[in-house]
Amino acid sequence: MMGIRGQLTLLVPGVVAIALTVVAFAAVRQSNREALEEFKELNLTALDSLSVTVATSVAENDMAGLDTVVAHTAERLEPHGLLELAVIDDDGRVMAHSQPERFNRVLTDGFTQQAIASEGPLWAREGNVLRIATPANSGIRWATVTARFSLGQMEQTYAAVRRRAALGTLGLFLFIAGALFLGMNRVVIRPVRVLEASVKRMGEGHLSTRVPALPGREMAELSDIVNGMASALQTERENLERTVAERTRELSEANARLERMAVTDGLTGLFNHRRFHEALHSELLRCERHKRPLAVLMVDVDFFKRVNDSMGHPAGDELLRRLAEVLSADLRQTDLIARYGGEEFSVLLPETTKAEALQVAERMRESVETKINEGGRWTQRITVSVGVATFPEDGAAAEEVLEAADRALYVAKRQGRNRVMGAKAA
């Protein structure tokens, strides 16, 4: 499809060229009519002059003189396009002719008959031939002078003028088209292309793109409007992105809190029973695959119910929080401690043998006995009992290892509490 530049390049010069062509050809046609009228008047004057001499020669019956006058006149008018010159009587008979062989012939054509009947000059155009006739009077009408003139030279001149007008119009068309094409390219097309490229980039999401300064008041206003729209869209998108980022962050934080709440004990901040079992099963699979040991500790507070009964449940809660801090202090980052339930804690020790686990459990027991009882805060001495079991020595499944540690804990309780007891292999 042709663009606006091509359409205007054809339309505007075309309209101008057509208008100029119409005007030029009208002027040429008018000039041709005027030239024809001048040509007719000039030759009619010549024939009027000849008719006086012809009337005298016919009146005196001087046929030889008539032939001479006709011949001399024909020779003089030949450069003006004369084709033939004749003197005829009232019957149309040729009395003298520029072509002697046509002497004495009778002319019967319509123009000749009209000329004989006319009392004044007569002319008619027949294609590229102009016929003129005038009466030869000298008191009375003695004869009629008729002539035929060629209009070929005049038509050639007319055709040449028309060609020059057409070429001039074509040249003017090309000049206007070229000037309009270049002007449109500079004033409209280039700015539009720049605007189009900028808007395309904006449409691709590059809202920081701005239309550069464009020439012309209208283009400058349009670029300002587009830039303002892009700026507003960019601001709106940035606001939206910030809002989405804030909402996403809040949602992530909320999900993280929910996830922590799902696996964390609300009182002590340790992992809960559910998370401990998930970690136990996962670590057992890994240890089984890599043939590595795993230790499980079950820790229970001795005579915890007495604390609640004597000091109240808030004091019992405070004791559990303090125990969580002390028990966690002796663990590695790879270890996991959880509140198993009530006053009972469970510990997971990956890559740990039973001998190593017993040492860890003993340190934990000593820390509790030493640190928790500092300051005499409690109405009784706080101690813990610990049961220790390992995989695969005390069980091949999570439940088996956990039950073995739990049995060892109860053995420690029965043997007097405040001690560490390892599970006995079945």
Q: Is residue 10 situated within a structural domain?
A: yes
For 312, the enclosing helix (H) or strand (E) is none
Unique residue bearing structure tokens 């030239």: 35
- CA–CA gap between residue 260 and residue 264 (Å, rounded): 5
Catalytic one of 241, 343, 366, 369 = 343
Same-domain pairing of 135 and 212: no
Same-domain pairing of 237 and 281: no
- CA–CA gap between residue 365 and residue 330 (Å, rounded): 10
Unique residue bearing structure tokens 């202090």: 329
Same-domain pairing of 251 and 378: no
The pLDDT score that the predictor gives to residue 1 is 53
Same-domain pairing of 134 and 20: yes
Q: Which stretches of 211-272 are DSSP H helices?
A: 217-263
Q: Is 160 helix (H, G, I), strand (E, B) or coil?
A: helix
Q: Which stretches of 264-312 are DSSP H helices?
A: 273-290, 304-311
Task: State the CATH number of the domain containing residue 303.
Answer: 3.30.70.270
Cβ-proximal residues to 415 (8 Å cutoff; 6+ apart), any chain: 421
Unique residue bearing structure tokens 């804990």: 409
Same-domain pairing of 282 and 254: no
Q: Are 87 and 95 in contact (CB under 8 A)?
A: yes
Single-letter code of the amino acid located at 184: M
User: Domain end: 156, 171, 194, which one?
Assistant: 156
pTM: 0.47
- CA–CA gap between residue 274 and residue 121 (Å, rounded): 135
For 150, the enclosing helix (H) or strand (E) is strand 140-150
Same-domain pairing of 258 and 290: no
Same-domain pairing of 257 and 284: no
Single-letter code of the amino acid located at 154: M
Cβ-proximal residues to 113 (8 Å cutoff; 6+ apart), any chain: 92
Task: State the CATH number of the domain containing residue 37.
Answer: 3.30.450.20
User: Domain end: 91, 123, 156, which one?
Assistant: 156
Per-residue pLDDT of the chain (426 residues; tens, 9 = 90+): 555 656 666 667 777 768 777 877 787 788 778 888 888 888 888 888 888 888 888 888 888 888 888 889 888 888 888 989 888 988 889 888 888 887 788 888 889 898 888 888 998 998 889 999 999 887 788 889 998 999 888 788 878 878 887 888 788 778 877 777 777 777 777 777 887 887 888 788 777 888 887 777 877 778 788 888 878 888 888 888 888 888 878 887 777 677 777 789 999 999 999 999 999 999 999 999 999 999 999 999 999 999 999 999 999 999 999 999 999 998 999 999 999 999 999 999 999 999 999 999 999 999 999 999 998 889 899 999 999 999 999 988 999 999 999 999 999 999 999 999 999 865
Closest CA to 362 of 403, 419, 305, 312: 419
Single-letter code of the amino acid located at 329: A
- When divided into structural domains, the chain yields a total of 3
Same-domain pairing of 319 and 259: no
Write out the residue range of the structural domain in which residue 220 sits: 205-263
Same-domain pairing of 95 and 77: yes
Half-sphere exposure of 5 (CA within 13 A, CB side): 16
- Look up 343 and say whether it is catalytic: yes
Give the pairing of strands 82-88 and 140-150. antiparallel
Cβ-proximal residues to 188 (8 Å cutoff; 6+ apart), any chain: 4, 5
Q: Is residue 135 situated within a structural domain?
A: yes
Q: Is residue 18 situated within a structural domain?
A: yes
- CA–CA gap between residue 99 and residue 320 (Å, rounded): 151
The pLDDT score that the predictor gives to residue 264 is 93
Closest CA to 42 of 86, 88, 76: 76
Q: Is residue 145 situated within a structural domain?
A: yes
Q: Is residue 26 situated within a structural domain?
A: yes
Cis peptide preceding 314, ω within 30 of 0: no
| Helices and strands: H and E segment counts in the chain | 11, 10
Closest CA to 125 of 152, 98, 145, 99: 152
Q: Which stretches of 60-124 are DSSP H helices?
A: 63-77, 110-117
Q: Is residue 187 situated within a structural domain?
A: no
Q: Is 193 helix (H, G, I), strand (E, B) or coil?
A: helix
- CA–CA gap between residue 333 and residue 253 (Å, rounded): 23
Same-domain pairing of 63 and 38: yes
Give the pairing of strands 129-138 and 122-126. antiparallel
Characterize 340-373 residue by residue with b for buried, 16 or more Cβ atoms within 10 angstroms of its Cβ, and e for exposed: beebbbbbbbbbbebeebbebbeebbebbeeebe
Same-domain pairing of 73 and 150: yes
Q: Is residue 329 situated within a structural domain?
A: yes
Q: Is residue 144 situated within a structural domain?
A: yes
Q: Is 39 helix (H, G, I), strand (E, B) or coil?
A: helix
| DSSP per-residue letters across 317-361 | HHHHHHHHHHHHHT--TT-EEEEEETTEEEEEEET--HHHHHHHH
Same-domain pairing of 234 and 133: no
